[in-house]
Amino acid sequence: MSMRCWRSPRNSAVRDDRRSMNSPAPARAEAPDPVETRSALPLASMLLIGFNQEATIAEAIAGALAQTYQPLEIVISDDASTDGTFAAMQRAVAGYAGPHTVRLNRNPVNLGIGAHLSRLVELSRGEMLFVTAGDDVSLPARCERVMRSWQEHGRRPDLIATALTDIDAQGVDHGAIVPSDLADYRSAADWLARPPFVVGAAQAWTRRLFDRFGPLRPGVVGEDLILVLRAIGSGGAITLAEPLVRYRRGGVSRRVRNLHAADVVARLRKSSRGALAELPQLLADTAVMGQLAAVEPTLRRRLARAQFVHDVFAADTAGAKLRVLWRAHDVALATRLRIGVYAVCPGLYAPFFFVKRLVRR
């Protein structure tokens, strides 16, 4: 992993750190930035993650560099892209002489969303952590608006979400996307009974959430819902109705059309992989919150289903798949039969998908 730091001329000189991904983070003995010592405002960090987003990463970085809030550090990180994303990152920050501290990181291996963000939390120092994706654009006032709201609420909320502007691949606006009003959620039971609509690309979290609950587990992809749950069980969460992020549709989180049985199988397997990482995380987090009893039965049922999906598709023979099907007593029979057909004889669904493709035409 490489780690470089750019600062404006009035700050310290360029630093170049190189260490392995598994090495412990160095002691933070460096002198504080002059901009921090001059200001009573809390330090914020923008965590900009990129993966195979060569075409859009420069615009995302430009949005981060244009932030009006100070003091701000910007951590830009490539998750082992196979295209020219990292080179585009280097070009986008070359010669930067603005007021913000800019750190550039490249992971030697792909970590995935949850582990990647957790790594950037380790590499950053801000009290409030802003998530931004390599195919989205933060408006210049994003950090300033959120930090002002946080201070107006006594720095109590542990998560602040904002609305977004939906844009297409060409950057054309298609209206606002407004997440759920997170102030309405008071407990883990609320979160489970009516899961909030959230978009991680427009969230900011406090460092306190990671200090209390620890890093996200490897394999976590739904980090936005997990961090909302953590916040609900801590200092609370709020939503700002102002769109502060231009959110590009069709990115890495785009939905896939299920027009063949193989599409459904791929989706089921991907979903089960995420659930097998995220559900134990949720169980552990609600235990820390002291609210496990209210959600454990439902989360355990979901975990059993995810384990069943994983096991039935991982079995290498029809007989082995049928044995998994028979033994999964914690999973509803209808669910076992439906998924079992996909695992043992997906061709039975062929007429259904044939009709579906005709309708799509």
Note the pLDDT of residue 1.
52
Note the pLDDT of residue 34.
42
Note the pLDDT of residue 25.
41
299-328 pLDDT tens trace = 999 999 999 999 999 999 999 999 999 999
**All domains in the chain, ordered by first residue:** 2-248 (3.90.550.10), 261-360 (no CATH)
Residue 247 CA to its chain's centroid (Å): 14
pTM of the model: 0.83
Note the pLDDT of residue 276.
95
**Residue given tokens 């998994």 in the structure block:** 324
Note the pLDDT of residue 169.
83
Burial of 319 (0-12, 13-18, 19+ CB in 10 A): exposed
Which residues in the chain come in under a pLDDT of 70? 1-39, 250-259, 353-354, 361
Quick check: helix, strand or coil at residue 105?
strand
Cα 70 from Cα 41, distance rounded (Å): 8
**Residue given tokens 């953590």 in the structure block:** 230
Task: List, in order, residues 6 or more apart from 345 with CB less than 8 Å away.
Answer: none
Note the pLDDT of residue 190.
96
User: DSSP assignment of 4-57, as one string?
Assistant: EEE--TTSPPPEEEE--TTSPPPP--SPPPHHHHT--SPPEEEEEEESS-TTTH
> 14 near 4, Cβ under 8 Å?
yes
**Residue given tokens 């963000």 in the structure block:** 117
Task: List, in order, residues 6 or more apart from 63 with CB less than 8 Å away.
Answer: 132, 136, 137, 138, 139, 140, 246
